Amino acid sequence: MTGPVVLTGGGTGGHVFPLRAIADALLASGVERDRLVIVGSARGQERALLGDLGVELVLLPGRGLRRDVSPRAVVTNVAAVGGLLVAAVRGVWLVIRRRPAVVVSVGGYAAFAAAAGAVASARPLVLVDLDATEGLVHRALHPFAVGITSAFPSAERRVVLTGAPVRAELIGVERSDAAREAARDALGIARAGTVVAVVTGSLGAASVNDAVGDLAERWRDRDGVLLYHVTGRRDHATVETRRVASGIEPTRWRVVEFEHQMAAVYAACDLAVTRAGATTVAELCATGTPSVVVPLPGAPGDHQGANARELERVGAAEVLQDAAVSAVTLDATLSALLDDPGRLATMSAAARGLGRPDAADQIAEVVLARAR
């Protein structure tokens, strides 16, 4: 390779964590740290989650477009388009100037600038599809890619099935009794009893957070069950204020803004309630965590719905639509599963059957094979 490897994408944890996993795999494959460049979003979590990696980090302006026609959305989108245009110019110029050996996109609005630069300057472009359906950026770039990897089976011959990469610490997570006790110790929660983890992304999901708050009050007298509720940044203060006002103790309803010890969360819980983003689905499968998934409504191409259906198809998850999520439906669904340990074990095994712990390494192989 005569040029650097450029990894691009981001804006949310669902894109940033795969970026990091691929970067780690490339470094382990022999790519020198000073030959790796990550291009992401200044608005996202790239600086917080990738800043310690020791590679060049280029953060561009811009944000995703809102998919409605309200006056506020129109104003937001005008500003977003302006930021994306500035990012595109900078991204194209970066690729032209640096002449990378290969550009690797994991998708999202933050990927567009550098990926477009690869097309404009005829540099090799590899697309890493994380969802069951391609996002808008990758659909546009698909004809120009020299390599495409996928988290799910594809009928297209040139697509390489690799699975979706997950953080290294999640590979090999055990769900044995001993591992569960150790994980609960690490999280500072009781070893005994049932733990339901609620994790809906780095930003959170208002509809799920509200419903879980209602469920916590419905379950306030239910002994032996802890709701370990990772709210995301946007709703944390509101949810924690609600918990305090309700008088429910943290031993029954633990409210956390963002959990860095996700390996411990997956090992500690009996069941998880999550969205159905690609990274979340990959993590559920890698750790063998049975789940109730609530796809984000209106996600581009209904990719979260497609991801959820893949889990449901093999029996790894129950699916609840966002519009149907309430304390009543969560109570009914969770209670039925928690009362059936055999079903939970079957779901766990089905999830692990979809997991691909070597996904990042396989993607790194594709990337290096396509590098110029």
Q: What is the pLDDT of residues 128-147, one digit of tens each?
A: 999 888 888 899 999 999 99
**DSSP three-state, residue 148:** strand
For 204-217, write each residue's pLDDT tens digit: 899 999 999 999 99
10 or 334, which is more confident: 334
Quickly state the pLDDT bin for 191 (edges 50, 70, 90).
very high
- Check residue 336 and give its pLDDT: 98
> Confidence band (pLDDT; 50, 70, 90) for 173?
very high
Q: What is the pTM of this model?
A: 0.85
pLDDT at residue number 99? 95
**Rounded to an integer, what distance in angstroms lies between the CA atom of residue 302 and that of residue 294?**
12
Answer whether residue 259 shows pLDDT above 60. yes
pLDDT band at residue 84, thresholds of 50, 70 and 90? low
Rounded to the nearest integer, the mean pLDDT of the chain is: 90
Q: For residue 269, which phi and psi values (nearest 5 degrees)? A: -85, 155
Count how many Cα atoms sit within 13 Å of the Cα of residue 311 in the half-sphere of its side chain: 36
pLDDT surpasses 60 at 367: yes
pLDDT beyond 70 at 13: no
pLDDT band (50, 70, 90) for residue 235 = very high
Q: Tell me, what's the pLDDT at 112?
A: 86
The answer on pLDDT for 275 being more than 60 is yes
279 compared with 210, residue with greater pLDDT: 210
pLDDT for the residue numbered 72: 55
Tokens found for residue 281 = 């689905």
Q: How many other C-beta atoms can be found within 10 angstroms of the C-beta atom of residue 120?
A: 15
Nearest to 170 by CA among 279, 30, 303, 270: 279
Mean pLDDT for 235-257 is 97
* pLDDT score for 74: 45
108 dihedral zone (left: phi>0; alpha: psi -120 to 50; beta): left
Which of the four pLDDT bands, split at 50, 70 and 90, describes residue 97?
very high
In Å, how far are 2, 209, 294, 333 from 326, measured between CA atoms? Answer: 55, 10, 11, 11
- Judged by phi (left if over 0) then psi (alpha if -120 to 50, else beta), residue 244 lies in alpha
Is 193 within 8 Å of 225 (Cβ atoms)? yes
The reported pLDDT for the residue numbered 164 is: 92
HEC sequence for 305-327: HHHHHHHHHHCCEEECCHHHCCH
In whole angstroms, give the CA distance from residue 67 to residue 40. 22
Q: What is the pLDDT of residues 25-69, one digit of tens each?
A: 999 999 999 999 999 888 777 887 788 899 999 988 755 545 554
- pLDDT given at position 305: 94
Q: Which domains does the chain have, with CATH numbers?
A: 5-166+357-370 (3.40.50.2000), 169-354 (3.40.50.2000)
Instruction: Give helix 341-354 / helix 278-287 axis angle, nearest 10°.
Output: 110
- What is the 3-state composition of the chain as percent helix, strand, coil, each rounded to the nearest 5? 50, 15, 35
> Which has more confidence, 164 or 11?
164
Give the tokens for residue 201.
Answer: 């992304």
Q: CA 285 to CA 282: how far, in whole Å?
A: 5
